[in-house]
Structure 1
Amino acid sequence: MEVFDVRVHLLWSDILIFILVASLLCFVVTVLKNPLARGRWAKVFESRIGAASFMVILFYVLIALTDSLHFQKRLEATVESTDVHYAPEMTSVLDLILAPMLDRDEKTYSAPFAIYSFAKENIESDDGAVVREFPRLEHGGSHITMEEQHVADIVVKSLTAIGWTLVPILIVLFIHHWYIRKEGSRLPWPVIYFTFAAIVVVSSWALQMSQYYHVLGTDKVGQDVLYGAIKAIRTGVLIGTLATLVTLPLAVLLGISAGYFRGWVDDVVQYIYTTLNSIPGILLIAASVLLINVYIETNPEQFKLLSDRADFRFIALCFILGMTSWTGLCRLLRAETLKVSQLEYVQAAHAFGVSRWRVIMRHILPNTTHIILIALVLDFSAFVLAEAVLSYIGVGVDSSMKSWGNMINEARSELAREPVVWWSVIAAFILMFTLVLAANLFSDRVRDVFDPRMSGSGDNS
Structure 2
Amino acid sequence: MKPVLLWSDALIFMLVIALVIFFYKLREDPQTRERWGQVFSSRLGMIAFTIIITYVGVALLDSLHFRRALENPEGLQTEEVFYDNKVTSVLDVMLDGMGDRFERTYSAPFALKSFEKQNMKDEQGNSIRDFPQLKHAGTHLADPSERGADLLAKSLVALLWGVLIAAIVIAPQWLLLRNSYNPWHASWGVQLVVICFFTWLVSISHHYHVLGTDKGGADVAYQSIKGIRTGVLLGTLSTLVMLPIAVSLGVMAGYFKGWVDDVVQYLYTTLSSIPGILLIAASVLLFQVYIDLNPDFFSIGMEKADAKFIALCFILGVTSWSTLCRLIRAETLKISQLGYVQAAHAFGVSHFRILSRHILPNVVHIILITFVLDFSALVLAEAVLSYIGVGIDPSMGSWGNMINGARSELSREPAVWWTLTGAFFFMFILVLAANLFSDLVRDAFDPRTINRRADS
What is the TM-score with the length of structure 1 in the denominator?
Answer: 0.94
From 137, 140, 146, the counterpart of 1:140: 137
The runs of at least 4 consecutive aligned structure 1 residues that moved more than 4 Å come to: 170-181, 455-459
* In structure 2, C-alpha distance between the alignment counterparts of 1:213 and 1:368, rounded to whole Å: 50
CA distance in structure 2 between the partners assigned to 1:300 and 1:172 by the alignment: 45
TM-fit CA distance, 1:422: 0.9
**Do the aligned partners of residues 180 and 304 (structure 1) sit closer, same or farther apart at CA in structure 2, a change above 3 Å counting?**
closer
Deviations, residues 265-300 of structure 1 (Å, cap 9, x unaligned): 000000000000000111110111111111111111
- Give the gaps of 5 or more residues in structure 1: 1-5
Deviation at 1:179, TM superposition (A): 6.6
Q: Which moved more, 1:210-219 or 1:316-325?
A: 210-219
Aligned to 1:114: 111
User: For the residues of structure 1 that align with 2:272 and 2:236, how far apart are their CA atoms?
Assistant: 22
Give the secondary structure class of the aligned counterpart of 1:122: strand
In 1, Cα distance between the equivalents of 2:452 and 2:126? 74
The aligned amino acid for 2:59 is A
SS in 1 for 2:211: coil
Match of 1:156 among 153, 157, 166: 153
Q: Aligned residue for 1:3?
A: none
Query: 8 Å contact 1:105–1:224 — kept in the other structure?
Result: yes
Offset of residue 186 of structure 1:
2.4
- Give the one of 376, 384, 401 matched to 1:381: 376
Query: Is 2:338 the partner of 1:337?
Result: no
Distance in 2, Cα, partners of 1:338 & 1:149: 70
Larger displacement relative to structure 2 (444-453 or 215-224):
215-224
- In structure 2, what is the Cα distance between the partners aligned to 1:416 and 1:164? 40
The amino acid across from 2:282 in the alignment is A
Look up the match of 1:71: 66
Question: Structure 2 counterpart of 1:14, which letter?
Answer: D
Counterpart of 1:222 in structure 2 is 217
Question: Partners in 2 of 1:414 and 1:288 — Cα distance?
Answer: 30
Alpha-carbon contact 2:136-2:206 (below 8 Å) kept: no
RMSD: 1.8
Partner of 1:204: 199
- Who is 1:103 aligned against? 100
| CA-CA distance at 1:322 after TM superposition | 0.2
1:171 to partner: Cα distance: 7.9
Change (3 A) 1:457 1:410: farther
Aligned to 1:56: 51
1:313 paired to 2:287: no
Code of the residue aligned with 1:322 in structure 2: it is G
Correspondence 1:6-405 to 2 at 5 A: 6-78=1-73, 79-80=75-76, 82=78, 83-167=80-164, 169=166, 180-181=177-178, 183=179, 185-405=180-400
Question: Cα–Cα, structure 1 residues 38 and 388, in superposed 2: closer, same or farther, change >3 Å?
Answer: same
SS at match of 2:348: coil
TM-score, with length taken from structure 2: 0.95
Partner Cα distance (2:345, 2:250) in 1:
20
Q: Aligned letter for 2:20?
A: L
User: Which residue of the partner structure matches residue 407 of structure 2?
Assistant: 412
Gap regions ≥5 residues in structure 2: none
Percent of aligned pairs with the same amino acid: 58
From 411, 422, 431, give the equivalent of 2:417: 422
Cα distance per residue 1:239-289 (max 9 Å; x no partner): 111101100110111000000000000000000000000001111101111
Contact 1:449 1:458 in 2 (8 A): no
- Determine if contact 2:246/2:325 at 8 Å carries over to the other structure: yes
Give the equivalent residue in structure 1 for 2:447. Answer: 452
Mapped to 2, the partners of 1:454 and 1:68 lie a distance apart of 39
Contact 2:165 2:195 in 1 (8 A): no
In structure 2, how many angstroms separate the alpha carbons of the residues matched to 1:179 and 1:360? 40
Aligned letter for 1:142? Answer: T
Task: Write the deviation string for residues 95-151 of structure 1: whole angstroms up to 9, x where unpaired.
Answer: 101124133211111111111111112222223332222111111111111011011
Once the 2 structures are TM-superposed, how far is the Cα of residue 410 of structure 1 from its aligned partner?
2.6
AA of the residue aligned to 2:441: V
Structure 1 CA distance for aligned equivalents of residues 438 and 172 of structure 2? 32
Q: Does the C-alpha gap of structure 1 residues 175 and 242 become closer, same or farther in structure 2, counting only changes over 3 Å?
A: closer
Distance, in Å, in 1 between the alignment partners of 2:174 and 2:24 is 26
The question of whether the paired residues in 2 share the 8 Å contact of 1:448 and 1:457 is answered with: no
1:458 CA drift (Å): 8.0
Structure 1's 412 and 364: CA in aligned 2 closer, same or farther, altered over 3 A? Answer: same
